[in-house]
Structure 1
Amino acid sequence: MDQHAPAHKEAAYELVESYGFYKLVRARASGRYYVSWYDAEQRQTRRSSLRTNKSSVAHEKMRFLADLCVTGDPTEYLNKKQVTTVAELLDDAWENYLQKLPSAEAAGVARDILKREMGDKRLAALVLRDYDGFRDLLTAQEKSIGYVSRILSVLRSSANRALENKQTTVKLKVPEYQPRSKKKGLKKKGPLLTCQEIAAIIDEINDLHLLLLVVLLIHLGARVGAILDAIKAQIDLEQNLFDLNPPGRETTNKGRPVLPIPATLRPWLEDLPDGPLITYRGVAIAEADTGFNSAVVRSKIGPKANTYSIRHSLSRYMRKQRVDLEEIGIYLGHGNHDPETETTLIYCPWEPEYLENCREAAEAFVREINKHTRKWDLLRPYCVKPSYVEN
């Protein structure tokens, strides 16, 4: 990197084109391309080699930086392996994570098929017609729509990962060809429960760590794994936000959103110690199904409920409260939004109305459950109701 080029050597570089914060320049002597920018702190122009003499490659790299909207030293982004075609995307995904999956064999088959039929296509140029053509090609080979959907899911997950890793700025919109009838027929992972039934389960909880877990579930509607992974650092009481995705964890399709903290949950969070939220004898626990299922059995509510039942019951309650479906989807972590733009704007802490309807519905849900609990007062952390008499 040329950090200290004296002024009299400036003529050694010719300006090719400006890309916002950066400029594309070319060394007159070697023909090599560089990205140039002004370092205000050091009060000097700096350059970093693009490692190419090809104009098309240089412009591609500059467009990549511009699309990322980065400023300052771009070396970190230039060192990333950029992927521009389907083949490059899939090869990188295979090298870094697909081959490590339990389903690596199936992922390898999907990669080979996608590379054979779409490998030379540029990610930025893919349109619905390309996906439809791929679907028609496989169905003509008597492959089922479900098979097509599974193959394309590998492309979708690979593209999402590359976007998260800033190896591309293209957000692929890979269509889902699974029949709507099949989606409608999917069974919920846990039966719906009434507020009375949830209250009955809570009253049969004896361990305080399990009580806190269920209190978090009825407020946030999160998957139980997200709660078990959660640490105190994910809670921002100043901004009143709870980030369900722990630091360092890669974002996946099973979204873990940033949620506003309901007023009824805040007292449970204020005095938590640093580290994992759910611990037993000072150690984080790996699963909670055993304890929860035991409470369900003791409650004698009838249906075989599980922790997913709470997630489904909260979402149904929100719908009854006329909360918009898109807002519910974002709250539950499967809203269809662009993580690079729309979500960032929604999550800004200076937007007090962020998911306000869901937050208010969650509070109402908890208050309704609390009307039916005999033992635990959900509005006062770890407190037993004065009227409770143990049988």
Structure 2
Amino acid sequence: MAGQAPQDVLLSTVLTRYMAQHGGTIASKATASRAVDLWREWWPVTTTVAEVGIGQQEDFLGWLRGRGYSEGYARRVLGVGKSALNRAWKRGEIAQVPFVDLPPIGEAYPHYASREQVVRLLNTQMPEHLWALLLVRLCTGCRGDAAQDLQVFQIDRRANLVRLNPPGRQQTKKYRPVVPLLPALAAYIDQAKPSAYVVHWHGRRVASIKTTWRKVRKAALLPPWFVPKTIRHTVATWLRQRSVPAWEVSGLLGHHAGGTTDRYAKFDPAYLGEARKALQQIVEDLARDVPRLAELVGVNLGSVDATADNESSTETIGTHRFQVVGGTGFEPVTPTMSR
């Protein structure tokens, strides 16, 4: 019945309808599904929409915090419930819905790795799909879902670009940009020859790496805060430490969606040039202590003229040629970097 009173509609009905009619179409459907499960776990099955008051929401938020969820994740959980209620109201299914007060946006993820920690991780024995995931994230700075979704057809070998958002997929607030294709990633694809997904398990998309990650993290003697997204934050931090302009780092990470004119910027030979150069230097520097990465870089690192930071040489990976900039190494590790 349309336009029902909030006291006549169960919260569980709204959540179920939201997932059945809309949940499967959103990019973060797994997160939405988990959020709905948490709503159902805390709120009694008899709860009506009218009973979702601010006081009850605060108690729910406290329960989420008590379960160890971060402020950012708790905000996303409440946001899913808010979206479900608002959707029901907009569609005329409920005459009125309560205001869901989202907690403030928390501080950015505080951790990033030291060079020694990343080297230790990359040298740890791991399944092929995790190695591929780490390489994609290291070479592009992308989020985990973008790396897991990446397919071979998204690699533009002619323009040396990686189109992180496949055709037909609607962009979300977690924007997936077009980023430079580094020689190491190009060489890995030539070597591994994936048929579809670059990160795959027997040809299929890898749905989750949680269990594998925990085993590898412990084997590498890394702290509990070293989660997969630490790679992305580390790449961003290292780029800024190398004085890469903020707008280039923002463009690489997908923090800036761009407008109509910006759609053609990626075809400029200098597109994200400083970020590309710095990323290549980072990969080359790590390769000095990561044999498997050194094989992919495919250059004699000792022959690079370290005194000419702005000079470049041409490297051939398979049938493709790239500009390779001499590595200058990392700044000395500070106490802040080793957190």
What range describes the TM-score normalised by the shorter chain of this pair? 0.5 to 0.7
Decide which of 206, 209, 216 is 2:129's aligned counterpart.
209
Tell me how far apart the structure 2 counterparts of residues 357 and 273 of structure 1 sit (CA, whole Å).
29
Q: Which moved more, 1:267-276 or 1:227-236?
A: 267-276
Q: Which moved more, 1:266-275 or 1:232-241?
A: 266-275
The answer on 1:298 being equivalent to 2:232 is: no
Decide which of 222, 233, 237 is 2:157's aligned counterpart.
237
The answer on 1:378 being equivalent to 2:281 is: no
Whether the 8 Å CA contact 1:204–1:299 is kept in 2: the answer is: yes
Instruction: Report what 2:118 is aligned to.
Output: 198
The answer on 1:249 being equivalent to 2:189 is: no
- Normalised by the size of structure 1, how large is the TM-score? 0.50
Tell me how far apart the structure 2 counterparts of residues 114 and 248 of structure 1 sit (CA, whole Å).
26
Structure 2 stretches lacking a partner, 5+ long: 1-16, 24-31, 33-78, 92-98, 299-339
Instruction: Report what 2:76 is aligned to.
Output: none
Tell me how far apart the structure 2 counterparts of residues 98 and 359 of structure 1 sit (CA, whole Å).
42
Instruction: Report what 1:346 is aligned to.
Output: 265
State the Cα distance separating 1:230 from its structure 2 match: 1.0
Tell me how far apart the structure 2 counterparts of residues 282 and 303 of structure 1 sit (CA, whole Å).
30
Tell me how far apart the structure 2 counterparts of residues 317 and 364 of structure 1 sit (CA, whole Å).
10
Instruction: Report what 1:53 is aligned to.
Output: none
Structure 1 stretches lacking a partner, 5+ long: 1-94, 116-142, 151-177, 384-391
Tell me how far apart the structure 2 counterparts of residues 381 and 298 of structure 1 sit (CA, whole Å).
24
Q: Structure 1 residues 197, 99: CA separation in 2 closer, same or farther (over 3 Å shift)?
A: same
Instruction: Report what 1:335 is aligned to.
Output: 256
Whether the 8 Å CA contact 1:256–1:333 is kept in 2: the answer is: yes
Whether the 8 Å CA contact 2:184–2:296 is kept in 1: the answer is: no
Tell me how far apart the structure 2 counterparts of residues 326 and 302 of structure 1 sit (CA, whole Å).
31
Instruction: Report what 1:284 is aligned to.
Output: 205
Tell me how far apart the structure 2 counterparts of residues 261 and 196 of structure 1 sit (CA, whole Å).
25
Tell me how far apart the structure 1 counterparts of residues 163 and 157 of structure 2 sit (CA, whole Å).
11
State the Cα distance separating 1:243 from its structure 2 match: 0.5
Amino acid at match of 1:308: K
Amino acid at match of 1:280: W
SS in structure 2 opposite 1:379? helix
Deviations 1:41-98 (A, max 9, x none): xxxxxxxxxxxxxxxxxxxxxxxxxxxxxxxxxxxxxxxxxxxxxxxxxxxxxx9999
SS in structure 1 opposite 2:162? strand
Tell me how far apart the structure 1 counterparts of residues 117 and 256 of structure 2 sit (CA, whole Å).
28
Amino acid at match of 1:281: H
Q: Structure 1 residues 105, 308: CA separation in 2 closer, same or farther (over 3 Å shift)?
A: closer
Decide which of 148, 155, 161 is 1:228's aligned counterpart.
148
Tell me how far apart the structure 1 counterparts of residues 125 and 143 of structure 2 sit (CA, whole Å).
19
Whether the 8 Å CA contact 2:142–2:253 is kept in 1: the answer is: yes
Tell me how far apart the structure 2 counterparts of residues 109 and 332 of structure 1 sit (CA, whole Å).
32
Amino acid at match of 2:177: P
Q: Structure 1 residues 291, 257: CA separation in 2 closer, same or farther (over 3 Å shift)?
A: same
The answer on 1:362 being equivalent to 2:338 is: no
Q: Structure 1 residues 112, 266: CA separation in 2 closer, same or farther (over 3 Å shift)?
A: closer
Amino acid at match of 1:263: P
Tell me how far apart the structure 1 counterparts of residues 155 and 137 of structure 2 sit (CA, whole Å).
15
Instruction: Report what 1:154 is aligned to.
Output: none
SS in structure 1 opposite 2:183? coil
Decide which of 38, 61, 83 is 1:107's aligned counterpart.
83
Instruction: Report what 1:270 is aligned to.
Output: 190
Tell me how far apart the structure 2 counterparts of residues 192 and 108 of structure 1 sit (CA, whole Å).
35
Whether the 8 Å CA contact 2:160–2:181 is kept in 1: the answer is: yes
Instruction: Give the percent of matched residue pairs that are identical in Structure 1 and Structure 2.
Output: 23
* C-alpha RMSD of matched pairs (Å): 3.2
SS in structure 2 opposite 1:256? coil
State the Cα distance separating 1:195 from its structure 2 match: 1.5
1:34-73 pair list within 5 angstroms: none
SS in structure 1 opposite 2:275? helix
Amino acid at match of 2:274: N
Bigger radius of gyration:
1
Amino acid at match of 1:377: R
Whether the 8 Å CA contact 1:278–1:284 is kept in 2: the answer is: yes
Tell me how far apart the structure 2 counterparts of residues 282 and 223 of structure 1 sit (CA, whole Å).
21
SS in structure 2 opposite 1:277? coil
- Normalised by the size of structure 2, how large is the TM-score? 0.57
Instruction: Report what 1:79 is aligned to.
Output: none
Tell me how far apart the structure 1 counterparts of residues 175 and 82 of structure 2 sit (CA, whole Å).
24
SS in structure 2 opposite 1:337? coil
Q: Structure 1 residues 261, 233: CA separation in 2 closer, same or farther (over 3 Å shift)?
A: same
SS in structure 1 opposite 2:215? helix
State the Cα distance separating 1:217 from its structure 2 match: 1.1
SS in structure 2 opposite 1:264? helix
